[in-house]
Each structure stands twice: as C-alpha cells, then as structure tokens.
Amino acid sequence: MQRILVLNSKGGCGKTTLATNLASHFANQGKRVSLTDYDPQACSQYWLSIRPEDEAEIQSISAYKQSGMLTTRTFMLRAAPGTDINIIDAPAAPDGMQLEEMLRHTDRVIVPLISSPIDFQATLRFLKTQLLSKLKAKRIPLSVVINRVGVHRTSLEQLTSQLTELGVNISAVIPESYLYSEVYSQGRSVFDNKFSKETDLLHHWQPLIRWIDNTETKLNLSHTDWVTWDANNSDALPEAQVNYA
Ligand SMILES: Nc1ncnc2c1ncn2[C@@H]1O[C@H](COP(=O)(O)OP(=O)(O)O)[C@@H](O)[C@H]1O
Ligand SMILES: [Mg+2]
C-alpha cells in the first residue's frame, strides 16, 4: 500500500481538494483506495458521505476522532485489507504529536501552496521549521503543488527559486477553476465520469500523478510568463507555460 499525506499548516490551500480528487483518480483506475481525514472540520469525510453510489468506491477513515475505550488508535487508522492507496487529508496547523503520527503512516508528502505572499511565507516557515528535517530523517519524498494559479499574481519565479534552493520539488501547477467547488458539492471529483471531458483541467494533474507513480520527478518551470499572467485572459494560461521536462 502506498500512503500519501496531503499536508500544509496553512488552511485553505487545497489539501482537501487535492486529497479528494487524487483519491477519486486512483479509485477510477480500479485501485482500492482509502481516504483518511485528520481534520476535525471533516470536509473529506463529508465529501465521501455524499459521494454517489455509482462512482468509484473510496473507503473512509476518520482519524480526527479520538479512539474510544474499546478501540486502539492503530485499529481506528487501519485501511481495509487489500488497499492499494491511502490518501491522508491533514488539518491546518497540526500539533507536534499529530504531525508525528501522520508522518509515521506516510510514504510521500504533497504540500499544496497558493502563490500569494502570505501563503508562501507561512508555507516556507512550515517547511523550514517543522517539515523538511523530519522528512529528511525519515527519507520521505516531498513535492509541492502550486494551486489556484490565476487568482494570485505573486512572482512564481521567486517562489520556485526559493523552493529549489531548499531542494523542494514542484510536481504540478493547478489553475483556479470553479469546477473544484462544483465537483466537491456533488461528492465527485474532476476524474469522475461526468467530468472526464474536462481535459484541460485534468492535464494539469498528470505530472503530480506521474510523481506519485514514480515515473516523473521533475517539472520544468522555466517558462515564467505567468508572473504577469492575466486572470481574465484565459488564452494566456498555462498549457503553454508549463512544460514537462
Ligand atoms: N484549484 C482551485 N480552483 C478553485 N478553487 C479551489 C482550488 N483549490 C481549492 N479551491 C477552493 O479553495 C477552498 C479551500 O480549499 P480546500 O481544499 O478546502 O483547502 P484546505 O483543505 O487546505 O483547507 C475551497 O473552497 C476549494 O473549493
Ligand atoms: Mg481541508
């Protein structure tokens, strides 16, 4: 079983969006998938609870609940036998013990990052002070996904160069799209049948999926036009600006 933790101490950066869509992607591939929700706001769990029965099945694990008198923590967190992929949706600002527990059950970490100055500063601080040394010690691979490109016009050039300096890989750039809230409210993902024609949208997930499948590790971000990308000009984005090495 491969276990993937979607993590950032910053709220609202897309952890649940990435976790639910990735879980559904792998489920649609015929894999046995479980989705663990560590966030007491339980947004992943809610999404699973409204997921239509005819969509690819995903097992729900509620890690935000305390284990009771009769259940051990290990029992609560267990995935069903035969599970291929366990996606873990982290809460914002996890405490030290929670972070340790999540990392104990993780093979890969994905950090979604919104390219606004505030989110960037918060994420850099989280990476430097809490995450990177732990991942290094445990030899857990890390990748950043830049999310909601188009809303914020921070210099991605600066952002990518600072991440590169830290030795952090960027595996995907996901543009802003109203469809992410639309699919969430239906208990679906952009990978479910109903949305499979949204190829422009799905295209941006491919390098992240390849990174998880371990067939690609590097995204070439040499095109930096997006620094001045105009959110109102949809022709400008990002297919031409994101080339994969
Ligand atoms: N690429 C995107 N385009 C548009 N909206 C997005 C995108 N990613 C996330 N969102 C929206 O941003 C909000 C926060 O995302 P969410 O996944 O809940 O973040 P987190 O789990 O980190 O708090 C939600 O309303 C979600 O629908
Ligand atoms: Mg969330």
Q: Render pLDDT for 97-126 as a digit per residue (tens, 0 to 9).
A: 999 999 999 999 999 999 888 999 999 999
What's residue 152's pLDDT?
Answer: 59
Task: List, in sequence order, every beta strand (DSSP E) within the chain.
Answer: 2-6, 33-37, 58-62, 85-89, 108-114, 142-149, 169-175
Residue of 167, 166, 170 whose CA lies nearest to 115? 170
Ligand nearest to the CA of 17: 1
Calpha distance 99→57 (Å, rounded):
28
Q: How far is the CA of 148 from the centre of ligand 1 (A)?
A: 8
- Encoded tokens for 36: 């663990």
Average pLDDT over residues 164-172: 89
Ligand 1 probe mutation, 5, 7, 10, 17, most atoms within 8 A of CB: 17
User: Does 190 have pLDDT greater than 70?
Assistant: yes
The CATH number that domain 2-240 falls under is 3.40.50.300
Domain range annotation of the chain: 2-240
pLDDT tens digit string along 52-93? 999 999 999 999 998 777 789 898 999 999 999 999 999 999
Ligand nearest to the CA of 12: 1
